[in-house]
Structure 1
Amino acid sequence: MKTVVITGAGTINALGLDVPTTMAAMQAGTCGIGPLAIRDVERLSIQIGGQVRGFEAEGRYNRQQMSLYDRFTQFTLAAAKEAIEQSGLVFSGELAAKSGVVLGTAGGGVSTWDDNYRSVYEDGKNRVHPFVVPKLMNNAAASHVSMEYNLKGPSFTVSTACASSNHAMAQAFSMVRSGMAPVMVTGGSESMLCFGGVKAWEGLRVMSRDACRPFSANRNGMVQGEGAGIFVFEELEHARARGAEILCEVAGFAMSSDASDIVMPSKNGAARAMAGALQDAGVNRDEIGYINAHGTGTAANDKTECAAVADVFGPHADQLMISSTKSMHGHLIGGTGAVELLACIMALRDGVIAPTIGYEEPDPECALDVVPNTARAAQVDVALSNAFAFGGMNAVLALRRI
């Protein structure tokens, strides 16, 4: 089995348009959640979100590209550019033939769906653009990354709701570890912050009207975000041979299914995924210093996740730091685990733990160290990144300092 490391990272999200800006915002405890600037926002009950601002697609992509790139694809390509440039890789020859891209998204081209349904049903038009289908399909972002960077190996998209990007990164990790591919570009993206996307989530009645406050007793729901997180996973010896900068090691992963309820999370399912990730990485529970929680700010998620952590880690749970960066950038649905992986990299590489902001009142059912409101300096050797999705789809990654 090969050792897998991360040699490039890129992002677009409500906290920043690149990795350094995002990490600085996480360290500062910045809130990227604010009033939505979208069409018909006045018709929405929920009018806040972690919206990407200052991203000008027209200056990045030409007219033909704009006809093919939904917003989630635009975010993906921008983040992929940053990640691949940092890695220093150029894909050609055998490296191109074997390297691929696995990305996660829950909704794909939601803005394209929204715009074209409006065109047909609201405006009464009887035709749509001939590229609507290739623009909105869930694999569009992965396909365009493969074409842009000559990635000819295994390439596909994973869609498992809020666990999509963690599942995608787990598949990429498995391919590099097994020797199937020397390099994989992986992560996830989402852009549901349009009228139809927000209106659909309103129906679930799990959304906050003012803020995301994970683990706080006065929390009142989740907040949607948008953006992308993209990484270069590379076999260790391949990276060392070319003198690449190594951000951290991807040590293991596990996946589980609750097999119980379409929306209510299961403590047992979450616990099995975390315990499985420890086993796969070959680490003891007392080696874990930080967990980036799924931490949505809903009572069902927060209480279930904390109970699962207590079950898996026993007495060591009191020594763990566990935080939710969704409090800052919102819930990116299929892209959320990818952006949150940056907090794990920051903890391992820089010794800075991102806080859970908006924390106001202790919840006795979430009596863990949630790093409230202020970032913390701490040395962490191993971290976990949790993703627990609707449908009971769970995916946990383990990362190690190197």
Structure 2
Amino acid sequence: MEATWQGLLTGVSTAATDPEMAGLPVDFRCRVPDFVSQRVLGRRLAWRLDPGAQFALVAAREACQNAGLNPREWDPGRVGVVLGVGGNSLHQYEHEFSLLASGRAAEISALAVPRSMPSTVAAEIGLDLDARGPNLVVSATCASGTAALGTARDFLWSGSCDIVITGGAEAPSARIGSATFGQLGALSTRARNPAGACRPFDRDRDGFVLGEGAGVLVLERADHARARGARAHAVLAGFGASCDAHHFTAPHPEGRGAAAAMRQALHDADLAPADIDHINAHGTATRLNDQAELQALRDVFGQPPPVTALKSIIGHSLGAAGGIEATCTVLTLGRQVIPPTANFSSADPGVEVDVVCKDPRPVRMRAAMSQSFGFGGQNAVAVFTSP
């Protein structure tokens, strides 16, 4: 967590040419640096898990440790797991399909299915941490990680859980993923300058850069946390979700669904737009998505508070993005400083939004919003307040 946070404060993109993407029209992406799965998880467990599940497991362990929770001491039936995952993993399938196409079906791994199921990510956390409560994934494309937070909170409110491990995890870094997003025209093509490729809200933006990773938080009933003397980093005060019902990939051009989710989250938190001090934007750097998000922000806030877009630094990890950005929003509130957006130099004419860029910005904050929007017009927004 700390290494990620310090990296975000630099405002420098992690995008770089990736030898695994060689030969593709877009051959660069953002990788989790210095991650050696066998060293962290052990050889056997690392071998069994898809990269997305590896990231999820490491993040979940760290989140529980940070929260002062010991799985050997909790009531396992009262601990749930809700993870946002945009889609099933394609890493294993690429290899297995090649075996099938070459007539070598007998060599296909028996683990191909469990490795690639979206639900495996949540199931492995339950298995590793002995969490026996509700266990599921939420799949809402790029809004999955944020949508998981709302679902997790409902389990707390219903009284069926005291603790829910939640967030998002995904490793959309298989070659087929890069190829298909490239065909959709969603990826930046600045291969000569990968670190300068992702430019959210900038006039010269041309698409996102694929990322990977996990962002996991511990949500806990307030009375349960107080009883064990836990220190809360933030309060999940509001949640809103909606669907554009407009197009299977493009957002509503006026950002109507996004604005509706923002208003729901504000109403749920019993806050007015003026109460929000910072917005962690979806900020994909695609022309249509950024424009729709900016329109929604103007409609809801008039003059929005300072905005940052972290995909410019760590890339777009699809279903994991909402979990990662929610975690960073909590850190932003706790440390009272907003990480900058990388590669922002000139806004579209007529777009009056305060994009934090170049350097971190210290700001007094009591409430912040983290928002995620995805293919199919699926929108999810979370509001966090200081405890």
Q: TM (normalized to structure 1)?
A: 0.91
1:179 shift after superposition: 2.5
The residue number in structure 2 matching 1:235 is 221
1:51 shift after superposition: 1.2
Pick aligned residue for 2:345 from 360, 363, 388: 360
**What secondary structure sits across from 1:144 in the alignment?**
helix
Distance 1:123 1:294 in 2: 43
Distance 2:187 2:103 in 1: 30
1:334-345 equivalent positions in 2, closer than 5 A: 334-345=319-330
1:25 shift after superposition: 1.2
1:327-338 equivalent positions in 2, closer than 5 A: 327-338=312-323
**What secondary structure sits across from 1:336 in the alignment?**
helix
Pick aligned residue for 1:160 from 136, 140, 152: 140
1:191 shift after superposition: 0.7
**What secondary structure sits across from 2:75 in the alignment?**
helix
The residue number in structure 2 matching 1:31 is 13
The residue number in structure 2 matching 1:287 is 275
**What secondary structure sits across from 2:219 in the alignment?**
strand
Matched, 1:108 2:96: no
Matched, 1:391 2:376: yes
The residue number in structure 1 matching 2:307 is 322
Matched, 1:245 2:225: no
Q: Contact between 1:343 and 1:353, CA under 8 Å: does it hold in 2?
A: no
Distance 2:96 2:351 in 1: 43
The residue number in structure 1 matching 2:246 is 260
The residue number in structure 2 matching 1:3 is none
Q: Which amino acid aligns with 2:90?
A: V
CA displacement 1:276-334 (0-9 Å, x = unmatched):
000001111100011111100011011110110110112x42xx111100000000100
Q: Which amino acid aligns with 1:305?
A: E
Change in Cα spacing, 1:122 to 1:213, as seen in structure 2 (3 Å) is farther
Q: Contact between 2:340 and 2:356, CA under 8 Å: does it hold in 1?
A: yes
Q: Which amino acid aligns with 1:336?
A: A
Gaps of 5+ in 2: 191-196
CA displacement 1:325-381 (0-9 Å, x = unmatched):
000000010000111113311221100101111012221253200112221000111
Q: Contact between 2:217 and 2:327, CA under 8 Å: does it hold in 1?
A: no
Pick aligned residue for 1:214 from 200, 204, 213: 200
Pick aligned residue for 1:182 from 162, 171, 182: 162
1:130 shift after superposition: 1.1
Q: Contact between 1:347 and 1:378, CA under 8 Å: does it hold in 2?
A: no
The residue number in structure 2 matching 1:11 is none
Distance 2:14 2:74 in 1: 42
Output the aligned Cα RMSD.
1.6
Matched, 1:225 2:211: yes
CA displacement 1:115-171 (0-9 Å, x = unmatched):
222333258454311111111110111001001111111110111110111111110
Distance 1:398 1:123 in 2: 52
Distance 1:312 1:194 in 2: 37
Matched, 1:51 2:31: yes
Single out whichever of 157-166 and 104-113 deviates more from structure 2: 104-113
Q: Percent identity?
A: 33
Q: Contact between 1:291 and 1:323, CA under 8 Å: does it hold in 2?
A: yes
Distance 1:264 1:145 in 2: 33
Matched, 1:137 2:117: yes
Q: Which amino acid aligns with 1:212?
A: C
CA displacement 1:50-90 (0-9 Å, x = unmatched):
11221111223344423421111111111111111111212
Gaps of 5+ in 1: 1-18
Q: Which amino acid aligns with 1:324?
A: A
Matched, 1:278 2:258: no
Distance 1:201 1:253 in 2: 29
Distance 1:362 1:353 in 2: 19
Q: Which amino acid aligns with 2:288?
A: A
Matched, 1:83 2:69: no
Change in Cα spacing, 1:94 to 1:332, as seen in structure 2 (3 Å) is closer
Q: Which amino acid aligns with 1:291?
A: I
Q: Which amino acid aligns with 2:359?
A: T
Distance 2:172 2:2 in 1: 25
Q: Which amino acid aligns with 1:222?
A: F
